[in-house]
């Protein structure tokens, strides 16, 4: 049975993440928001610290472990609080500091989660230590990952990739990019595989970096692939096309990354709530948890409602990660966590700006920045609408062809 308390063995890691967020990320948050596309060099020292923890065996949760679909679910007596739960809790703390900087962390890219989820044991070892971005979205596909048009054609012992990817987080800075491409368009989503393409590979070109509303510390790239040759051994997992299994490899990646994105939204929203509570108290507005909301000021009542929404998002996120640790199918819960946290994160951060008035709208505080940063967390890794569609399919037992 899931225990919703912070596991004792993870408390030190989470406390360390909070200290890093407060003392290392918050102080440079505004600097790199304004200096868009400039690499935050301070993160190199932080990455070295995380590597040291991992080498010592004390850093479980510094990055999420993969959700392997072929793994057998644990029996009810084998409850485990592992790296996935530690990851979402520590990521939430880091995003309490700054979401854009967290997304800029070396060797902690979304592509690393894809490798952890899909790569075989030999590949896991070979890619250890790499910083991998993830390239899914295309100009004509948006959140419909099954409609990918980037192609991968086998030529001898290499695959030849052709296509264009947009909105690639860390696409310029990362050591490699996990690229989703189809081996055969006629076979639909079952033919979609992921490839690790190393930086500097001929045929791969970063066309431009996007200017964005939020997470401006993180680089977001457009990348093209023109007859880009990739060794066959860099196809993640099995090269066989299993029509029965369909999109399972790709979905295993989403089952891993969606709780991580939900955790980012939880952390960013918590930062807004904490600061707003302080600002309200400075204005003489007390929030009394022992009195009904209707007997308090409108501002206090609104704050209590936001905290309730926040806690629901946090618990859903923890549940999805806990299920992954215990090798329980978590596709439904991952989408529920992403949908709830993404929407709640945007609602809370913007509402906090409104409650704080002119202070919230100005750059005197970080509230306006957090409201900008949080919006992307309701969009990437599958939009709010896509998550609700997935949830409906899971609950009703319908396929993507039956419910569009």
Residue 183 pLDDT grade (very low, low, confident, very high; cuts 50, 70, 90): very high
For the whole model, what pTM was predicted? 0.92
Placement of tokens 């919006």 in the chain:
375
Where exactly are the structural domains of the chain?
8-123, 130-234, 248-396
Q: In the prediction, which pLDDT does 63 show?
A: 45
- 201/35 Cα distance (integer angstroms): 28
Q: Read off the pLDDT of residues 38-80 as tens digits, 9 standing for 90 and up.
A: 999 999 988 888 777 666 555 554 444 445 544 544 455 556 7
Q: Are 10 and 81 in contact (CB under 8 A)?
A: yes
Closest CA to 68 of 82, 54, 50, 56: 82
Q: Give the lowest-confidence range in 48-62, 113-127, 143-157.
A: 48-62
Mean pLDDT for the chain?
90
Domain 8-123 bears CATH identifier 3.50.50: no
Q: Read off the pLDDT of residues 336-390 as tens digits, 9 standing for 90 and up.
A: 999 999 999 999 999 999 999 999 999 999 999 999 999 999 999 889 999 999 9
- Tell me the fold of 248-396: Butyryl-CoA Dehydrogenase, subunit A; domain 3 (1.20.140)
Both ends of the chain: CA-CA distance in Å? 34
Q: Is the pLDDT of residue 221 over 50?
A: yes
Q: In the prediction, which pLDDT does 108 show?
A: 84
- Tell me the fold of 130-234: Butyryl-CoA Dehydrogenase, subunit A; domain 2 (2.40.110)
Q: Give the lowest-confidence range in 61-65, 114-118, 210-214, 276-280.
A: 61-65
Find how far residue 381's CA is from the centre of its chain.
Answer: 7
Q: Is the pLDDT of residue 256 over 90?
A: no
Residue 105 pLDDT grade (very low, low, confident, very high; cuts 50, 70, 90): very high
Catalytically annotated residues: 381
- 228/211 Cα distance (integer angstroms): 27
Q: Give the lowest-confidence range in 110-124, 129-143, 247-261.
A: 247-261
Higher local confidence (pLDDT), 293 or 251: 293
- Per DSSP, the chain holds a count of helices (H) and strands (E) of 13, 7
Q: In the prediction, which pLDDT does 69 show?
A: 46
Residue 117 pLDDT grade (very low, low, confident, very high; cuts 50, 70, 90): confident
């Amino acid at each position: 049975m899931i225990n919703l308390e912070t596991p004792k063995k993870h408390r030190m890691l989470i406390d360390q993440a909070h200290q890093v967020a407060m003392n290392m990320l918050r102080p440079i948050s505004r600097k790199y928001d304004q200096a868009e596309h400039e690499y935050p060099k301070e993160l190199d020292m932080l990455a070295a610290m995380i590597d040291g923890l991992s080498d010592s065996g004390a850093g479980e949760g510094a990055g999420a472990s993969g959700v392997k679909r072929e793994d057998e679910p644990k029996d009810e007596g084998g409850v485990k609080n592992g790296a996935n739960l530690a990851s979402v809790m520590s990521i939430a703390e880091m995003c309490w500091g700054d979401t854009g900087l967290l997304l800029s962390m070396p060797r902690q890219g979304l592509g690393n989660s894809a490798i952890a989820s899909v790569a075989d044991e030999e590949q896991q070892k070979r890619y250890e230590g790499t910083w991998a971005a993830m390239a899914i979205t295309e100009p004509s596909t948006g959140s419909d990952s099954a409609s990918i048009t980037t192609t991968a054609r086998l030529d001898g012992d290499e695959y030849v990739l052709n296509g264009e990817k947009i909105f690639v987080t860390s696409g310029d800075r990362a050591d490699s990019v996990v690229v989703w491409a189809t081996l055969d368009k006629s076979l639909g989503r079952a033919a979609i595989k992921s490839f690790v393409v190393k930086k500097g590979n001929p045929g791969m070109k970063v066309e431009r970096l996007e200017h964005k509303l939020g997470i401006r510390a993180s680089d977001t790239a457009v990348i093209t692939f023109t007859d880009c040759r990739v060794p066959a051994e860099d196809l993640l997992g099995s090269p066989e096309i299993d029509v029965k299994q369909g999109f399972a490899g790709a979905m295993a990646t989403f089952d891993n990354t969606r709780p991580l994105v939900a955790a980012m939204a939880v952390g960013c929203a918590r930062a807004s709530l904490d600061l707003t509570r302080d600002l309200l108290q400075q204005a003489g507005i007390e929030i009394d948890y022992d009195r009904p909301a209707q007997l308090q000021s409108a501002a206090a009542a609104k704050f209590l409602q936001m905290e309730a929404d926040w806690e629901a998002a946090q618990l859903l996120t923890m549940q999805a990660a806990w299920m992954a640790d215990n090798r329980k199918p978590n596709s439904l819960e991952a989408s529920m966590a992403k949908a709830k946290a993404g929407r709640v994160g945007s609602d809370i951060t913007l509402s906090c700006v409104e409650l704080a008035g002119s202070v919230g709208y100005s750059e005197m505080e970080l509230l306006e920045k957090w409201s900008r940063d949080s919006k992307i967390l309701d969009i990437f890794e599958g939009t709010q609408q896509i998550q609700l569609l997935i949830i409906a399919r899971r609950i009703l037992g319908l396929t993507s062809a039956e419910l569009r």
